[in-house]
Structure 1
């Protein structure tokens, strides 16, 4: 057997494997004997089928099977032994393989195209500067949250005539056309201010005609009303008619102990001041997660944009099409290949940083993460005390489920957390405090 690598350039190579009869024949003969022992063929006693008959009936398929088995192992071993950093999987030269005459040939030559990771360097130092946007919880956000909680936990009534702030329910149809929806609803407060008067003073059973674009400036509200995706809703135009069958009105809850208990649990907060402080704390935690997530995105941006790396585009496209079983087409590649390359580049940088700095995750850490997750989902520290020693068994059972995918999911999550924490400690992160609205605007403008 002869295996060679012909590097076409720094990112692509061709592995050639030459086989002689002596490389595969012993295993083929053994498989023929195995078939002879197990075959159940009319006219022969089981276990007494001559090998000549087996070769005549199954010889070609056995030969192909054994050679493919041999190639798979030898190719994998060669890549490992030579420490080749490949992308995707080796692609066999199908044109060359199609010329093989399995009936006659004794010697074979196979070719596999491989994509290689080119050498690259990255900067992980204080010279790397990335902006973070901690979100300040302002009075406006707190007031809006309190108003939302009062409404969410308020008393719902069903009046006969609508007012501002009500919700109107009923069938919806387009005035000219065939669109119709059996049940839709309009939240009057979500309607453009100039158009809200159309939806107030309406009695049950009456119809409201409105221009959908004038009525809804927010495409998401328009999509929600029509029950369509945002992209589909963009094309919806003209006059629509809502027949009002039900009107709902929420009388806001009073800010008192009953509301405190319903929102945060019994006796967690007892005064309005504590209630406001708890809301501020909860919002702050949620916004910190959003801010941290956006910081991670900015870190990714920096390394993707500032790390020079060559990738084998042609190989990757061919591999994606081959391995997707027809799901990835040229049209799909035209739309999504740049995003795929970006993700691949970031993964390569992260893996190199993790390898260079020996950032690893142990099985005990994954188990501890699983236990924390279970405790969090089922009632906090109190449940841990109730479960006692059973918690370990529950965690192990969870990690083993889904063919080990649960273990890998938590493993990758922990590895990512460790890696990003390490990166943040090495680079310079500059903070710029912003309001919620400012943060939303920054995120929206930053979208790729």
Structure 2
């Protein structure tokens, strides 16, 4: 009769010894050999007439090893189910040597495994305090957005020369030294910029310029901070490096354009917000304001979720079988890792593990469920998003598309996880105590910049 003994070898780390007696594996081994004898194709013997001794000699050792290992695995799994062991990953074999198994020695064999046990912990969401930011939508923000919409829906023309701040220049950035000589192997990159993105001095210099003209700029002096950050990023440079900001570039103008802003007419309102019946500038302004508010409400909600996440990670105490998990990181993946690699990966790995345990406990506590219909609806919303948000709900191909997506296991799993996380956070947002605080869009952007997981 197989026996299993359990002994503690470290924090949340146990050793399981599975001892199998010969009566546990011998009958099954003999059965398997008989099967082999019936089906073996060996030259010189009719099928099913191969002597048992020859079959044992040829296949015995591998069948013997397989049978014992299968028995051990079954006993181990049965034991863990019976004892309700909640473990991480899989049991790791401890110095087991399958070459000790000998088909000519039907004796008791022992196998050792180590397991890492999941910790017990409490999650208290009632003492989480968060700040919910209410972003002030200013007249200037509304007017800026309207200006952007007028440009996006405006008419593009190609005048000879740069005539105003609203002119667009297509330029080739060519890296040069302070004297204006091209740097060999330097950066070259095409871009398209509005003249008003440049500083006052450069704008003056651009006036009257035409295709194939050039000017030389130094990034730190040619752009204000916000635009400079964007340009540096586009050129593959670092926004935090003073040396990068001080680089010189020659700008070769490849095209001059001018966008004639769309007029504030009913036709324009209809283009931007179809089927809303917007007739007046006032109504249009309100629609833009609501759009901006919705955007910031979403951002604010994400930021509250970020605060909840950090609180739960920082304030939920949990112990882990660190040595076991490091060994598992080394040997449990597709490719073995070195002890150093496992040690480097461990802090990040354990944080993810902690978050997984917290969410699975809270998901169960709050009974967060995701139904197949919700996943299907998500697939439909996604395709509507690709089509610019227009409603194609009653299109017959829509259902077909959604049904096809439901057969894609990866899509279903990812969507399930996404919807489950989103529902869990909604439940948590209603439980935590939130203090509302009014804030400018700039100050809110700073907070997002400093605090991201």
TM-score, length of structure 1 as denominator length: 0.82
Structure 1 unmatched runs, 5+: none
Question: Would you say the 8 A contact 2:22–2:108 is kept in 1?
Answer: yes
Q: Deviations over 1:79-108 (max 9, x none)?
A: 232222222332222xx1347424466543
Bigger mean CA deviation after superposition, 204-213 or 248-257? 204-213
Report whether the alignment pairs 1:269 with 2:278: yes
Range moving further from structure 2, 101-110 or 412-421: 101-110
**Residue 221 of structure 1: aligned partner:** 231
Alignment-derived partner of residue 76 in structure 2 = 75
Q: Supply the distance in 2 between the matched residues of 1:206 and 1:262 (Cα, whole angstroms).
A: 37
Report the Cα offset of residue 430 of structure 1.
Answer: 1.9
Match of 1:409 among 394, 410, 414: 414
- 1:320 maps to 329
- State the alpha-carbon separation in 2 of the partners of residues 102 and 210 from structure 1: 78
**Are 1:305 and 2:314 matched, yes or no?**
yes
SS in 1 for 2:161: coil
| Whole-angstrom CA distance in 2 between matches of 1:409 and 1:117 | 24
The Cα shift of 1:295 comes to: 1.0
In structure 1, the partner of 2:296 is 287
Give the structure 1 partner of residue 174 of structure 2: 172
| 1:361 and 2:363 are equivalent in the alignment | no
1:97 alignment partner in structure 2: 96
Q: Secondary structure at the residue paired with 1:269?
A: coil
Counterparts in 2 of 1:256 and 1:122: CA distance versus 1, 3 Å: same
1:442 maps to which residue?
A: 447
For 2:356, the equivalent position in structure 1 comes to 347
Q: CA RMSD in A?
A: 3.5
Equivalent pair of 1:157/1:250 in contact (CA under 8 Å): yes
Q: Distance in 1 between matches of 2:220 and 2:56?
A: 75
For 1:284 and 1:238, locate their aligned partners in 2 and report how far apart those are by CA, in whole Å: 39
- CA offsets 1:391-412 (integer angstroms, 9 cap, x no match): 777645432x22x333333333
Larger Rg: 2
| Cα deviation digits, residues 243-294 of structure 1 (max 9, x gap) | 3222333222222222212212255422222211111222222222211111
State the distance in 2 between where 1:184 and 1:58 align: 71
Partner of 1:22: 23
Paired with 1:164 and 1:253, the residues of 2 have a C-alpha distance of: 17
Deviation at 1:45, TM superposition (A): 4.6
Q: 2:380 matched to 1:374?
A: yes
- Match for residue 157 of structure 2? 157
Aligned CA distance change for structure 1 residues 157 and 32 (closer, same or farther; 3 Å): farther
Count of equivalent residues? 436
Measured against aligned partners, the alpha-carbon deviations of 1:108-145 in whole angstroms (never above 9, x if no partner) come to 333322222222222232x3322222333222221221
Q: What is the rounded CA distance, in whole Å, between the counterparts of 2:439 and 2:40 in structure 1?
A: 76
Distance 1:118 1:361 in 2: 24
Which stretch shifts more, 313-322 or 37-46?
Answer: 37-46
CA contact (8 A) 1:157 1:249 kept: yes
Aligned mates of 1:347, 1:272 — CA distance in 2: 50
Which deviates more from structure 2 when the two are superposed, residues 135-144 or residues 409-418? Answer: 409-418
Verify the 8 A CA contact 2:170 2:190 in the aligned structure 1.
no
Compare 285-294 and 131-140 and name the one that shifted more: 131-140
1:44-83 pair list within 5 angstroms: 44-46=45-47, 48-83=49-84
TM-score (normalised: structure 2):
0.82
State whether residues 175 and 249 of structure 2, in contact with CA within 8 Å, keep that contact through their aligned partners in structure 1.
yes
Alignment partner, residue 135 of structure 1:
135
Quote the residue 2:430 is aligned against.
425
Aligned in 2, Cα 1:312/1:157: closer, same or farther, shift over 3 Å? farther
